[in-house]
A and B are shown apart, each in its own frame.
Chain A
Amino acid sequence: DAKTTQPNSMESNEEEPVHLPCNHSTISGTDYIHWYRQLPSQGPEYVIHGLTSNVNNRMASLAIAEDRKSSTLILHRATLRDAAVYYCILAGGTSYGKLTFGQGTILTVHP
């Protein structure tokens, strides 16, 4: 499985933007970049995914580097409810939907 590298932890202040980086230098051409987050005592929650182009949805934006070897999840205005573990995951053509979670980034949001 292609691997991702994320910082162990990041901190932000409420109502400020947050940029969560992810490196995936061994990404293949058919790998999708997924982001999930897990709030305390809950199952993971889908955030966003993309293949080549930048993506936006109601929760976040995903910026994908031109060479696809890195990506950034952008939370435009962090709230206390965004405090969670954020996972960057690659899912490819043969993965039949299998998600390989790493350690993720623990995001702390300060009021």
Chain B
Amino acid sequence: ETGVTQSPTHLIKTRGQQVTLRCSSQSGHNTVSWYQQALGQGPQFIFQYYREEENGRGNFPPRFSGLQFPNYSSELNVNALELDDSALYLCASSLASRGPGNEQFFGPGTRLTVL
């Protein structure tokens, strides 16, 4: 069973640029959630994708967008990067059929630094 993988591991961008982060979900999982974790804080929910559609969104502006592909992998795109976007971005996969009682499996994250 393959776990959740994310790429790249680290990324450095400058303010105003755009970035794309990638996530491969655990085998058999059809739902992907993205979280942002600032230094010293708990992860904050960005949004979730189920069957290629956004299925819930946290308090993040529209410049945070995503995609889910037929193989359930996912991308997180952030436009017009700001210094406060510097954080660890985490992807988690799960099985939607189990609802709020399901387990989420997290990847190792992508560390984004915005200069």
B94 and A97 form a contact (CB under 8 A): yes
Which of A32, A49, A92, A96 is B56 in contact with, Cβ under 8 Å?
A96
Q: Is B90 an interface residue (CB 8 A)?
A: yes
How many A-B residue pairs have C-beta atoms within 8 angstroms? Tell me: 70
CB contacts (< 8 Å) of B41 on chain A: these are 103
Q: Is the interface of A mostly helix, strand, loop or mixed?
A: loop
Q: Is A95's CB under 8 angstroms from B42's CB?
A: no
Known contacts A97-B96, A98-B56, A103 near B42 by CB under 8 Å: yes
Question: Closest residue of chain B to A91, judged by CB?
Answer: B100
Within 8 Å by CB of A49, from B42, B43, B101, lies: B101
**Chain B positions 73 through 115: 1 when the CB is less than 8 Å from some CB of chain A, otherwise 0:** 0000000000000000010101010011111111111000000
**Residues from 36 to 62 in B contacting A, C-beta threshold 8 Å:** 41-45, 48, 50, 55-56, 58
Which of A10-18, A39-47, A62-70, A76-84 is found at the contact surface with chain B? A39-47
B31 within 8 A of A: yes
Q: State how many residues of chain B have any CB contact under 8 Å with chain A.
A: 29
Q: Check: B33 CB closer than 8 A to any chain A CB.
A: yes
Among A32, A87, A101, A103, which residue has its beta carbon within 8 angstroms of that of B100? Answer: A32
Which of A's residues lie within 8 Å of B, judged by CB? 30-32, 36, 42-46, 49, 51, 85, 87, 91-93, 95-104
B residues within 8 Å of A by Cβ? 4, 31, 33, 35, 41-45, 48, 50, 55-56, 58, 90, 92, 94, 96, 99-109
Nearest 7 pairs between A and B by C-beta? A101-B42, A43-B106, A91-B100, A46-B103, A96-B56, A32-B101, A44-B106
- 7 A-B pairs with CB atoms under 8 Å apart are A32-B100, A43-B4, A97-B100, A98-B33, A98-B56, A99-B33, A101-B44
